[in-house]
Amino acid sequence: MKHLKKLLLQIFYIVTNSWLEGPRWSQVCLYQSYLNPALIVALVGFVCHPSLLWLAAFIIAVLLTISVITRADAQCSIKHLTEAYEELLEGDNFLFKSLPPDSFLLSIIQKSSNLRIYKHLENTLQNNVFYPNLFKNSLRILVAEGKNGQILDSHKAYTNFLGQSLIFLNRPVEQNDLIDCFLVLHELEHINLDGARQLSRMHSRPMFLIFSTTLLCFLAISWWHWIFIIFYISFHILAQFQSKVKREVIADNAALIKLSNNELFTLEDQKEIVNYFIEFNTENLENATNLETESINILTWEKNPFQLDTEEIIQRNKIIKKLRDENKLNTSIKDKIDRLRHWRWYEYRLNHDDSLPYLGWTSFWDNIGTVPFVLFFLYLSIITPYPPLFPLGLMLIFIVFDMFLFLGYMNKLQNIHETIENYFAKS
């Protein structure tokens, strides 16, 4: 039985990795159909019931997708660049130094990181009709040194979807500093493709949910349709609450894997990093909750993250009830528990399979969870002869209104970018 289970797991990893390494458009299309049901409903509706109304509905759905994502990316970029300026540049408290071409960190990035978003950004910027030649480079890495001896509490990454992202290091990275190498790669993963996509979904999901819920309410004609809609809304809300931790988990996993793809690091180095952060996060939880180490271990599945017996579940529920009664089970504590739980998963995988979860594993589970809902949307589009006009009208009004707002976003983005560039030019 044990060998059969291991064989099935290996088959599962091979199949999922093959799909994940295949055409990325298939994953994007599946998740986008889940995020914005109007796309698949209008497309299949036009195929099943050809008419100008369904064609117009599909065009509106495509424009809505572009509008919402572009709006979310622009707002996120403005927010991150503004934070970078206000937190680090505005007070003129730091000196910033570029990395020398022969620095150890740059060699790590070149050897262990496949930062696809950089190439994607460079190609996009060269052909962008909205702001040609505004941004020349897609990434700037600087070491921040305090003028009065102060230091940053950690490395910091600021994601810019539409131009140059920023990474500030609180100290130069040395070759023998294993933990620091991991922390830098962790920050790089926040602005890499998977990390950036997760951030984009965080900012675009609320707007998509408003339009999706409106459309589905007009398409529902049976009681079980409403059950699907309630689950759909619940899944989105849950995903939004989990998105912050998921961003960190994606960055942790990808940074660990990319260390393993570098000849300078070994499996034992991965285990050392995982053990360090398990101890670090356990100590943080102990200080925040006043729980004993044993209780923390039960709460975060120390024995086996894949198999929980009845006694463990009962003990875990008692600990959660205790935290809730003491008003200590806030969002911050939940995030810490989830983060430590994933470190336990990494530890389990490294000790049992000598490997980490494959890159894109979170995207895979996200996409698998979307399948029942996408099938439900297909069914609704087949049984609906005409698209509901009110949701489409609402989408169209938003698209037109957002076109004018987009010009304002781009002006803000250009202004904050020029402010940052002028600061670096003077210093």
- With cut-offs at 50, 70 and 90, classify the pLDDT of residue 209: very high
Burial class (CB in 10 A: 0-12, 13-18, 19+), 230: exposed
- Rounded Cα distance, 115 and 333, in Å: 32
Rounded Cα distance between 259 and 188, Å, is 12
Assign 358 a pLDDT band (cuts: 50, 70, 90): low
* CB-CB contact of 205 with 236 (8 Å): yes
Mean pLDDT (whole number) for 327-355: 84
Question: Each residue of 229-264: pLDDT tens digit?
Answer: 999 999 999 888 888 888 888 888 888 887 776 666
Cα distances (angstroms) measured from residue 115 to each of 17, 112, 121, 126, 245: 19, 9, 11, 18, 21
Torsion sign over Cα 106, 109, 111, 117: negative
Question: In one letter, which amino acid is 148?
Answer: N
Question: Average pLDDT in the 401-418 region?
Answer: 87
E strand or H helix that includes residue 166: strand 165-169
Q: How confident is the model at residue 114 (pLDDT cuts 50, 70, 90)?
A: very low
User: How far is residue 412 from each of residues 79, 231, 250, measured CA to CA in Å?
Assistant: 10, 38, 30
Query: And the tokens for 91?
Result: 């007070």
Output 363 or 67, whichever has higher pLDDT. Answer: 67
Helix axes 193-219, 361-383, angle to 10 degrees: 20
41: three-class secondary structure by DSSP: helix
Tens of pLDDT along 35-54?
899 999 999 999 999 999 99
What H or E segment, with its residue span, contains residue 167?
strand 165-169
Looking at residue 126, its pLDDT comes to 45
| Range with the poorest average pLDDT among 55-59, 233-237, 367-371 | 367-371
Q: Among 22, 11, 158, which Cα is nearest to 80's?
A: 158
User: Residue 79 belongs to what H/E stretch?
Assistant: helix 52-84
* Long-range CB pairs of 92-95, under 8 A, 24+ apart, other chains included: 92/147, 93/146, 93/147, 93/148, 93/150, 94/144, 94/145, 94/146, 94/147, 94/150, 95/144, 95/145, 95/146, 95/147, 95/427
Contacts of 68 (CB under 8 A, 6+ apart): 36, 204, 207, 208, 211
Return d(Cα 185, Cα 359) in angstroms, integer: 14
pLDDT at 305 exceeding the cut of 70: no
pTM for this entry:
0.81
What's the pLDDT tens digit per position in 73-96?
888 889 999 999 998 888 778 888
Instruction: Write down the domain spans for the chain.
Output: 30-290+328-426
Edge to edge, the sheet with strand 139-146 lists: 94-98, 139-146, 165-169, 156-158
What is residue 105's predicted lDDT score, i.e. its pLDDT? 66
d(CA 129, CA 74): 15
Mean pLDDT score of the chain: 79
Length of the chain: 427
The backbone region for 37, taken as left when phi is positive above 0, alpha when psi lies in -120 to 50, beta otherwise, is alpha
